[in-house]
Amino acid sequence: MADTTRLFVLRERPKGALDARTLELTTRPRPSPAAGEALVRTRWLSIDPTNRTWMDPVDGYLPALELGEPMRGIGTGEVIASETDALPVGAHVSGMLGFAEHAIVRPEEVTRLGPHDDPKLAVGPLGHIGATAWFGLTEVGRPEAGETVLVSAAAGATGSMVAQIAKKLGCRVIGTAGSDAKCAWLQDALGLDGVIHYRKEALDGAIARHAPDGVDIYWDNVGGPLLDAALAQLALGGRVVLCGGISQYNAERPVGPAAYLHLIRQRARMEGFLVLDYLPRLEEARSAIGPWLEDGTLRFAWHEVDGLAKAPEALGLLFSGEHEGKVVVKVAEASR
């Protein structure tokens, strides 16, 4: 094995969209594990909107990255050197491996995958993406059969799972997307009850047309004008599940909802959540979602980018919308 490794560090805080100066690819000596540690070779790197929030100078649910620090990122990989029996050489793990070819981890910091688990699925429907969709919908949204669910960014990794799970729970599902191809996929492949092309249609009128009796659950991945439009169309007792606000992550002054007074009139609830709170229960989500993946009744799309050097480019795809499904970076080939 080579005695060096490559990783991205935060070189400059972005002002708006990322540019070539934001993240710097550096080469360093490959680390060796100390007692109780293991060295993991990253195989798959998950690209998520939250990566962008970690670059800001304000502490969030995790401390803000300092300039010069390695870029955080969720990934899966293989143990290639170990000083702990809990993570033997050859074991596969998922966790916060970073935008890096290698990572030093401790057993309590990662989840060990089973011998038959697909490491790629562990950064998608059987990992934090699936857990986000399952627990956010079932425990925050609390859907009931027959209710109308509106999902923003419904062709994305999380949104597509929320939409399909809601359908399986007996709900009417309306999805929003920003391209003809994504709208067609939602309609034809996922079988949604209504699809809104937010770049072509007036949101208020489109939501009212698809949900004449109001929206019982709005799953928000976007924020901004779409959140306001959904708030204005809430049904009595409606619920808004705040998963993300990707339209605001690059804004120097994020804009909050102007239509929040509809929550009072409709006796509605708006609640944010973090999947971190549910990760100890990950197996519950896997048990529910796994059979649907196996029998083909739940579809999941991938947008694969090859090579660690393209990780910043892959992150940019989330904000340009020039992707379909879950964006991942293949950092290394499988050894099994």
Q: Are residues 98 and 140 in the same domain?
A: no
Whole-number pLDDT of residue 58: 87
Residues 78, 304, 47: CA angle, nearest 5 degrees: 70
Mean pLDDT over all residues of the chain? 95
Residue 40 lies in a domain: yes
Structural domain boundaries enclosing 70: 4-124+300-330
User: What pLDDT, in 10s, does the model give residues 11-51?
Assistant: 999 988 889 999 999 999 999 999 999 999 999 999 999 99
Whole-number pLDDT of residue 333: 84
Structure tokens at 177: 């997307």
User: What pLDDT, in 10s, does the model give residues 91-110?
Assistant: 999 999 999 999 999 999 99
Whole-number pLDDT of residue 312: 97
Whole-number pLDDT of residue 253: 84
Q: What is the CATH number of the domain that holds 209?
A: 3.40.50.720
Does residue 161 contact residue 129 with C-beta atoms inside 8 Å?
Answer: yes
Q: Are residues 220 and 173 in the same domain?
A: yes
User: What pLDDT, in 10s, does the model give residues 250-304?
Assistant: 988 888 899 999 999 999 999 999 999 999 999 999 999 999 999 999 999 999 9
Percent of the chain at pLDDT > 90 equals 91
Whole-number pLDDT of residue 254: 86
Asked if pLDDT for residue 90 goes beyond 70, the answer is: yes
pLDDT, average across residues 38-67? 94
Which residues does 29 contact at the CB level (< 8 Å), separation at least 6? 3, 4, 5
Residue 291 lies in a domain: no
User: What pLDDT, in 10s, does the model give residues 133-172?
Assistant: 999 999 999 999 999 999 999 999 999 999 999 999 999 9
Q: What is the CATH number of the domain that holds 27?
A: 3.90.180.10
Residue 295 lies in a domain: no
What are residue 96's DSSP bridge partners? 74
Residue 55 lies in a domain: yes
Whole-number pLDDT of residue 52: 94
Backbone angles phi, psi at 131, to 5 degrees: -65, -40
Q: Are residues 98 and 232 in the same domain?
A: no
As a whole number of angstroms, the distance between CA 124 and CA 116 comes to: 16
Q: Are residues 146 and 189 in the same domain?
A: yes
One-letter identity of residue 71: M
Strands (E), the chain: 4-10, 23-29, 38-46, 74-82, 92-96, 102-105, 110-112, 148-151, 172-177, 194-197, 215-220, 234-242, 269-272, 302-306, 326-330
Q: Are residues 165 and 200 in the same domain?
A: yes
User: What pLDDT, in 10s, does the model give residues 182-209?
Assistant: 999 999 999 999 999 999 999 999 999 9
Structure tokens at 265: 């009139």
Q: How distant is the alpha carbon of residue 212 from its chain centre?
A: 30
For the chain, the distance separating the N- and C-terminal CA atoms, rounded to the nearest angstrom, is: 17
Q: Are residues 49 and 159 in the same domain?
A: no
Whole-number pLDDT of residue 60: 84
Number of domains observed in the structure of the chain: 2
Whole-number pLDDT of residue 16: 85
Q: Are residues 83 and 116 in the same domain?
A: yes
Structure tokens at 104: 């030093």
Whole-number pLDDT of residue 334: 74
169-197 burial by CB neighbour count: b if 16+ within 10 A, else e? bebbbbbbbbeeebbebbeeebebbbbbb
Whole-number pLDDT of residue 290: 97
Q: Are residues 101 and 149 in the same domain?
A: no
Q: Are residues 88 and 185 in the same domain?
A: no
Residues 130, 110, 325: CA angle, nearest 5 degrees: 30
Residue 285 lies in a domain: no
Whole-number pLDDT of residue 252: 81
Of 148, 234, 229, 157, whose CA–CA distance to 192 is shortest?
148
Q: Are residues 170 and 110 in the same domain?
A: no
Residue 215 lies in a domain: yes
Backbone angles phi, psi at 309, to 5 degrees: -60, -20
**pTM for the model:** 0.94
Asked if pLDDT for residue 336 goes beyond 70, the answer is: no
Asked if pLDDT for residue 54 goes beyond 80, the answer is: yes
Asked if pLDDT for residue 328 goes beyond 60, the answer is: yes
- Give the residue from 241, 260, 276 where a domain finishes: 276
Q: Are residues 78 and 159 in the same domain?
A: no
CB-count exposure of residue 68 (10 Å: 0-12, 13-18, 19+): exposed
Residue 283 lies in a domain: no
Whole-number pLDDT of residue 161: 98
Q: Are residues 69 and 133 in the same domain?
A: no
**H/E run at residue 50:** helix 50-53
Residue 290 lies in a domain: no
As a whole number of angstroms, the distance between CA 4 and CA 41 comes to: 12
Whole-number pLDDT of residue 335: 67
pLDDT confidence band for 1 (50 / 70 / 90): low
